[in-house]
Amino acid sequence: MRVKILSSTSSFNGVTYNTNKTQNEKGELTRLRNFGYLQDTKDVGPNEVKNFLIAHSNRNTLVKDKQFHAMISCKGREYSKEELTDIAHEWIDKMGYGDNPFLIVFHKDTANNHVHIVSSRIDREGKKISDSFEKLRAQEAINEIMRLNPKHEAVKAADSLMEFRFSTKAQGFLFLENLGFKVREKGEQIELIKYGSVQGQIPVSEFNQKIQSYQLDKDRAKQLKAILDRYSKVYQTRPTCLFEPKPGGKKGNQTGYRSDLGDFIREKFGLQLVFHGKDGKRPYGYSLIDHANKIIFKGSEVFPIQRFFEQEGERKTYQSQKSAKDKQIDLIEAKVKLQSALNDFSTVRQGLEHHALKLENRDGNSFLSTVQGDIAASDILSTEQQLALRQYFQEREANLDGQSQGIFDLAPVLNIADDLDDEAVHGRKRSKKRKGENEITR
């Protein structure tokens, strides 16, 4: 589910736009609330609705652009007209506009069912309804309604970490970061941050208790050493740097390292090699996350890092041994997660963080990095989307060259759940509408 705050105006042209849709049988007015005497009037015209909103808003003469206009869309026909209307009404209440006059119009003229909400930014007392952190609050509200609760995710992440044995605070932070959280220590708490807000906390005392109780499992360390020793003679071991994509195929910020050996042991044994380094330099250390036995090892406790840089003779590149069925399941899951990242969140960055997804660039090709492994973006994006992505990079290059992008925003490229006609209205010139008052019905 995606929510989008559209432009504010002083003329409430969002009413005209949406009522025109109802006349063209591309939309339907599904809810009209708090319009006083108009509530019981049959065949209310758009000018009457606009005039009521203007009169209501004139309680405040300081605010110029008083229209509040938003869109909530789902993927395809996942939610019906009635369901989207109820979701929008609940969302309006959470955003503080529930007591204001508002209308909800259902649109069915694109591939994705969606509703538009038009109201006033001025309340009954003549005060402007707060728009502080509006986009963030908008997505948080829809997440709460749709039960995408990042606070619940934080609790699960903290509980998962506490099932592991680890010997340093940095190892605990690494585990949480792999689950898509930013982590910081503040006072007596370890804070888990997602979507720009603190979603959960772990007392520092619990971290310290885990660290103090840690004892090296020597038997397991020997087993892991034997695994690494054996397969380091089979697969290529040298870690290579991963980078975020940049315009023109250039390298962005470093996101980590990978190796064929690491890919193999993760799929075969549930062991995750995490190398530590930066600036494209050779890593200075590594951690080994043993998911099967819930232990985070220092690399030095298991296998000398120098051994990963010894290239004796020919070694194989690793090709996934998963069955065609397993690969198809992984691909479908990756597609679903990517579409959710693009549709259900106010920014793609938030969506990627929520699903712990990363887009990385290696040798000019983009890969979607998931917990199941790396999947080429070309397996997920259509040819047209890939061309659009390349064009997007080229157009952004002049403005972003030499600057850090972070995770780039694909929303303007993929348009998976955008209302394309709405984009035309709010971002491009439109031909003049014929004059005359259209009627809207309930």
Q: Model confidence over 171-181: pLDDT tens digits? A: 999 999 988 89
95 by DSSP, 3-state: which?
A: helix
Answer with the residue of higher pLDDT: 230 or 320.
Answer: 230
DSSP 11: S
Mean pLDDT, range 185-207, rounded to an integer: 91
Q: Which of 50-54, 112-116, 201-205 has the highest mean pLDDT?
A: 201-205
Mean pLDDT, range 292-304, rounded to an integer: 95
Cβ atoms of residues 241 and 360 within 8 Å: no
The per-residue pLDDT for 436 is 42
The per-residue pLDDT for 23 is 62
Flag whether pLDDT at 432 surpasses 70: no
Instruction: List, in order, residues 6 or more apart from 215 with CB less than 8 Å away.
Output: none
Mean pLDDT, range 222-235, rounded to an integer: 94
Closest of 44, 1, 13 to residue 118, by C-alpha: 13
Answer with the residue of higher pLDDT: 301 or 430.
Answer: 301
Angle of the 218-231 helix axis to the 260-269 helix axis, nearest 10: 130
Q: Name the band, by pLDDT with cuts 50, 70 and 90, for residue 401.
A: very low
By 3-state DSSP, what share of the chain in percent is helix, strand and coil, each rounded to 5? 40, 25, 35
For residues 420 and 73, give the distance between their C-alpha atoms in angstroms, rounded to a whole number: 12
Q: What percent of the chain has pLDDT over 90?
A: 40
The per-residue pLDDT for 354 is 65
36 by DSSP, 3-state: which?
A: helix
250 by DSSP, 3-state: which?
A: coil
Flag whether pLDDT at 125 surpasses 70: yes
Neighbours of 431 (CB within 10 A): 5
Angle in degrees, CA 223, 225, 228, rounded to 5: 110
Cβ atoms of residues 59 and 126 within 8 Å: yes
